[in-house]
């Protein structure tokens, strides 16, 4: 019976059960570094062009302009902008390594980091020849990261949480053999045997 002063025992998962395995986190960190290097090269490389558009500070202004040039070409340009930073939606939570994080704070963290990164790349790219400041690059980049995060990360975390739970499930206890004590022999005194013989009764037998 538990007393009032006795602390209540609460079950808690081991630290490894709430984190992504280290090899997977190391692979995610490597992929994140490579992805950022490729994005940096793609955004910050000089372009030998004769002229460029003016800077766009109107949200989705360049999207409407791209779609006006042709449906297929415009959709391809928008898709490229969405996919440029999209892997960050998976790689950032993977590097952090938490499996039991709530989806809304995780989504807000990833969206905030991607917004800062996209803004920094766009500002640096505006100083490179052949590039101009375009606010749509930031908006589409953050949208791609957010959609990728919502589509992949919650389901992947649920799968990774379920696997350690199955591994930690206790097996059925083995039956414990019951030992029966052996009979103990009690010696009968000689006086008891003589008394029993005198009264014509059989002497008690020893086991």
195 pLDDT more than 60: no
The pLDDT assigned to 10 comes to: 45
Q: Is 70 helix (H, G, I), strand (E, B) or coil?
A: coil
Rounded distance between C-alpha atoms, residue 186 and residue 28, angstroms = 76
Separation between Cα atoms, residue 103 and residue 116, nearest integer Å: 20
Whole-number Å distance between alpha carbons of 123 and 135: 10
Question: Tens digits of per-residue pLDDT, 43-76?
Answer: 999 988 777 888 899 999 999 988 887 778 889 9
Per DSSP, the three-state class of 85 is: coil
Name the more confident of 161 and 122.
122
Q: Measuring CA to CA, how many Å separate 80 from each of 73, 76, 87, 94?
A: 11, 6, 13, 23
Q: Are the beta carbons of 194 and 200 closer than 8 angstroms?
A: no
User: What residues pair up with 98 in beta bridges, in sequence order?
Assistant: 19
d(CA 120, CA 69): 29
pLDDT in tens, 137-157: 999 999 999 999 999 999 999
The string of pLDDT tens digits covering residues 82-119 is 999 999 999 999 999 998 889 999 999 999 999 999 99
Q: For residues 164 and 24, what is the distance between their CA atoms, to the nearest angstrom?
A: 15
Q: For residue 161, name the pLDDT band (cuts at 50, 70, 90).
A: confident
């Amino acid at each position: 019976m538990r007393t009032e002063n006795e602390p209540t025992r609460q079950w808690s998962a081991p630290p490894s059960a709430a984190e992504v395995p280290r090899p997977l986190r190391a692979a995610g960190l490597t992929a994140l570094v490579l992805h950022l290097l490729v994005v940096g090269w793609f955004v910050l490389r000089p372009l030998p062009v004769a002229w460029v558009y003016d800077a766009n500070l109107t949200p989705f202004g360049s999207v409407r302009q791209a779609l006006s040039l042709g449906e297929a070409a415009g959709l391809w340009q928008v898709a490229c902008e969405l996919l440029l930073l999209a892997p960050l939606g998976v790689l950032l939570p993977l590097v952090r390594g938490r499996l039991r994080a709530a989806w809304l704070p995780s989504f807000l963290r990833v969206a905030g980091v991607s917004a800062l990164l996209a803004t920094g790349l766009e500002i640096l790219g505006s100083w490179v020849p052949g590039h101009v400041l375009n606010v749509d690059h930031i908006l589409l980049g953050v949208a791609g990261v957010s959609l990728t995060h919502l589509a992949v990360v919650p389901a992947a975390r649920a799968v990774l949480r379920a696997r350690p739970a199955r591994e930690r499930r206790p097996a059925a206890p083995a039956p414990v053999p019951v030992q029966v004590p052996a009979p103990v022999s009690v010696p009968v005194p000689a006086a008891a045997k003589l008394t029993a013989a005198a009264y014509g009764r059989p002497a008690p037998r020893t086991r």
